[in-house]
C-alpha cells in the first residue's frame, strides 16, 4: 500500500515525539508499505513566528510572512528525515517546492493549483521514505506561499490525491472525530465514520481537527481519509462517502467557531447592485464572508450584518470603510466578542423540529441568538462569546450525543 501519513504540531511537539513519529513510520514501512510523510511545525512554533513578525509590524508583508512561517515545517521535515536515516531507513526531506506543490498567488492563504508528484514518485521508487514539509507551496513566480492555518492537512490530502495513495492518515492529539470538541465537552463520543459532507460542515464551522479545505479536497479526489492519534494504537475515524454509512444519525456533531467577527453596516444606499459591489470587493480580497442578513430600514437605506473570520477583519474593515468614505454606507461597526455554534447532521434532511430544538436549548439556557443560518444539513447560530461552552454542552445534551 502507498500511505500518506500526516503528523500535526503536537505529534511533532518535541524531539522525543519526533522520534516517536519516526518509530511509527518505520513500523509502517516494515509492514511493506510505501510511506510519504507530511509534517506540521512543532506545536506553538507557527504562533511564535507570527509573534516575532508582529514585534516589528502590525501588518507585516504577506510574502515575508510566508517565507517566515514556512520555515517551521522545514525544521520538522528535516529532523524527521534525519531520525529515520539514523534508524537505517533511506529517507529524504522535501520542501513544498520540491514536492511539486504549485499554488495561486494569495500569500498566507494560497490555493493549490496543481501538484507535480514526479520528485516524490521517483524517491518512492528508489525505496525512500519521503518527508514533505506541510502547509506550503510555491506560486508561478517562484515565491513561497502558505496554505492558511492548519494547512498541513490540505498538503497531506492533496499529495495523497496526486499520488493516488491508498490511504491518507491524519495523526493528531485526539483519537478521531468526536461529536464535539472533547476539550469542551468531556462526554463527547468518538465517531467510527462520518461523511465527507458532515465533516466539511463541522470543519468549516470551527472544528479545527481537520482544515476545511482538506476535507473538500478529500471529497473531490475521493481520498480515503482517517483521523487518529499518534499517541496510541487506538482506531480512528474514517471520513467517507455518505453511502458507506449505514445509519446516518439525526445529528452527528456540534461545532464551535470562536474566531468570528460581526460587521454591521448601517444606512446602506438601497440601490440595485450595492450588495454585489460590497461582497464582490470582499471576495476579491479573499475575505471569507459567512452569514449575511439584510433589514430594510425606514428611509431609503438598509442595514446589512455579516460575519467574517477574525483573521479577515482588517481586510474587510478597509473595504467597508471605503464605502463609508464615498457615502454609500452611513456607518459601520465591528464586534469580535461573538461566536458561532452549529449543529450538523445529514439526518436533518428528512426530519423536522431539529432547528426548533436548537432554539429552545438556547432559550432554556437564557442565551440570546443574534443571527441564524441554516442549510440542508446544518443550523448555525451567532451568540455572545461568553456563552460558547454553555451552548455547546447544552446542544450536546439536547440531541443526546453522549448516548
Residues that bind ligand ASP (CB under 6 A): 8-9, 40-41, 46, 72, 134-135, 149-153
Separation between Cα atoms, residue 9 and residue 208, nearest integer Å: 13
Q: Which of residues 141-170 bind ligand ADP (CB under 6 A)?
A: 150
Q: Which H or E element spans position 290?
A: none
Among 50, 154, 66, which residue's Cα sits nearest to residue 107? 66
**How many angstroms separate the Cα of 252 from the Cα of each of 7, 198, 318?**
25, 7, 38
Task: Count residues near ligand ADP (CB under 6 A).
Answer: 20
If the CB atoms of residues 81 and 172 are measured against ligand ADP, the closer one turns out to be 172
Smallest gap from Cβ 108 to ligand ASP, in A, equals 10
Which parts of this chain interact with Mg ion (CB under 5 A)?
8, 150
Q: Which does 253 bind (CB under 5 to 8 A by kind): ligand ADP, Mg ion, ligand ASP, none?
A: ligand ADP
If the CB atoms of residues 47 and 121 are measured against ligand ADP, the closer one turns out to be 47
Q: Which does 178 bind (CB under 5 to 8 A by kind): Mg ion, ligand ADP, ligand ASP, none?
A: ligand ADP
Under the binding rule (CB under 6 A), the answer on residue 8 touching ligand ADP is yes
If the CB atoms of residues 157 and 263 are measured against ligand ADP, the closer one turns out to be 157
Smallest gap from Cβ 8 to Mg ion, in A, equals 5
| Chain centre distance of CA 350 | 28
If the CB atoms of residues 153 and 290 are measured against ligand ADP, the closer one turns out to be 153
| Chain centre distance of CA 40 | 14
Question: Under 8 Å CB-to-CB from 56, ≥6 apart: which residues?
Answer: none
Q: Which does 151 bind (CB under 5 to 8 A by kind): ligand ASP, Mg ion, ligand ADP, none?
A: ligand ASP
If the CB atoms of residues 45 and 305 are measured against ligand ADP, the closer one turns out to be 45
One residue of 34, 73, 169, 181 binding ligand ADP per CB under 6 A: 181
Question: Under 8 Å CB-to-CB from 255, ≥6 apart: which residues?
Answer: 180, 201, 202, 203, 205, 206, 207, 341, 342, 344
Separation between Cα atoms, residue 94 and residue 126, nearest integer Å: 15
One residue of 5, 26, 40, 70 binding ligand ADP per CB under 6 A: 40
Separation between Cα atoms, residue 261 and residue 309, nearest integer Å: 6
Q: What is the DSSP string of 265-277?
A: EEEEE--TTHHHH
Q: Which H or E element spans position 167?
A: strand 167-172
Q: Would you say 188 and 178 are in contact if contact means Cβ atoms under 8 Å apart? A: yes
Smallest gap from Cβ 143 to Mg ion, in A, equals 24
313-325 vs 274-284: helix axis angle to the nearest 10? 140
Among 104, 109, 87, 80, which residue's Cα sits nearest to residue 17? 80
Q: Which does 135 bind (CB under 5 to 8 A by kind): ligand ASP, ligand ADP, Mg ion, none?
A: ligand ASP
Strands 101-103, 2-7: pairing kind: unpaired
Separation between Cα atoms, residue 253 and residue 249, nearest integer Å: 10
Q: Which of residues 235-264 bind ligand ADP (CB under 6 A)?
A: 253
The DSSP symbol for 42 reads: P
Smallest gap from Cβ 384 to ligand ADP, in A, equals 20
Cell of 364: 432554556
If the CB atoms of residues 257 and 332 are measured against ligand ADP, the closer one turns out to be 257
If the CB atoms of residues 171 and 323 are measured against ligand ADP, the closer one turns out to be 171
Under the binding rule (CB under 6 A), the answer on residue 76 touching ligand ADP is no
Smallest gap from Cβ 231 to ligand ASP, in A, equals 17
Smallest gap from Cβ 51 to ligand ASP, in A, equals 13
Positions that interact with ligand ADP (CB under 6 A): 8-11, 40, 150, 172-174, 177-178, 180-183, 202, 207-209, 253
Amino acid at each position: 500500500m502507498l500511505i500518506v501519513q500526516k503528523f500535526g504540531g503536537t505529534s511533532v511537539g518535541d524531539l522525543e515525539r519526533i522520534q516517536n513519529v519516526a518509530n511509527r513510520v518505520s513500523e509502517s514501512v516494515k509492514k511493506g508499505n510505501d510511506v510519504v510523510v507530511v509534517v506540521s511545525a512543532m506545536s506553538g512554533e507557527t504562533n511564535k513566528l507570527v509573534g516575532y513578525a508582529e514585534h516589528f509590524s502590525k501588518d507585516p508583508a504577506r510574502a515575508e510572512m510566508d517565507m517566515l512561517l514556512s520555515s517551521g515545517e522545514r525544521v520538522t521535515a528535516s529532523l524527521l528525515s534525519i531520525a529515520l536515516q539514523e534508524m537505517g531507513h533511506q529517507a529524504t526531506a522535501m520542501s513544498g517546492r520540491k514536492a511539486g506543490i504549485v499554488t495561486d498567488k494569495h500569500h498566507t492563504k494560497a490555493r493549490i493549483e496543481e501538484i507535480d508528484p514526479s520528485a516524490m514518485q521517483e524517491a518512492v521508487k528508489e525505496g525512500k521514505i519521503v518527508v514533505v514539509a506541510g502547509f506550503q507551496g510555491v506560486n508561478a513566480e517562484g515565491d513561497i506561499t502558505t496554505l492558511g492555518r492548519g494547512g498541513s492537512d490540505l498538503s497531506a490530502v492533496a499529495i495523497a490525491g496526486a499520488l493516488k495513495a491508498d490511504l491518507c492518515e491524519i495523526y493528531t492529539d485526539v483519537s478521531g472525530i468526536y461529536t464535539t470538541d472533547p476539550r469542551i465537552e468531556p462526554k463527547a463520543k468518538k465517531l467510527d465514520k462520518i461523511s465527507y459532507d458532515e465533516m466539511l460542515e463541522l470543519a468549516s464551522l470551527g472544528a479545527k481537527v481537520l482544515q476545511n479545505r482538506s476535507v473538500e479536497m478529500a471529497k473531490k479526489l475521493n481520498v480515503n481519509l482517517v483521523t487518529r492519534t499518534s499517541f496510541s494504537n487506538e482506531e480512528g475515524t474514517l471520513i467517507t462517502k455518505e453511502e458507506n454509512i449505514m445509519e446516518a444519525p439525526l445529528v452527528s456533531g456540534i461545532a464551535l467557531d470562536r474566531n468570528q467577527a460581526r460587521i454591521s453596516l448601517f444606512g446602506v444606499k438601497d440601490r440595485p447592485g450595492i450588495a454585489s459591489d460590497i461582497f464582490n470587493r470582499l471576495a476579491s480580497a479573499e475575505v471569507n464572508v459567512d452569514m449575511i442578513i439584510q433589514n430594510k430600514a425606514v428611509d431609503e437605506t438598509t442595514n446589512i450584518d455579516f460575519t467574517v473570520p477574525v483573521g479577515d477583519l482588517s481586510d474587510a474593515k478597509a473595504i467597508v470603510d471605503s464605502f463609508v468614505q464615498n457615502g454609500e454606507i452611513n456607518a459601520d461597526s465591528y464586534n469580535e466578542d461573538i461566536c458561532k455554534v452549529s449543529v450538523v447532521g445529514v439526518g436533518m434532511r428528512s426530519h423536522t423540529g431539529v432547528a426548533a430544538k436548537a432554539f429552545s436549548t438556547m432559550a432554556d439556557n437564557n442565551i440570546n441568538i443574534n443571527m441564524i443560518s441554516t442549510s440542508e444539513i446544518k443550523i448555525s447560530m451567532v451568540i455572545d462569546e461568553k456563552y460558547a461552552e454553555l451552548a455547546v454542552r447544552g446542544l450536546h445534551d439536547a440531541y443526546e450525543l453522549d448516548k
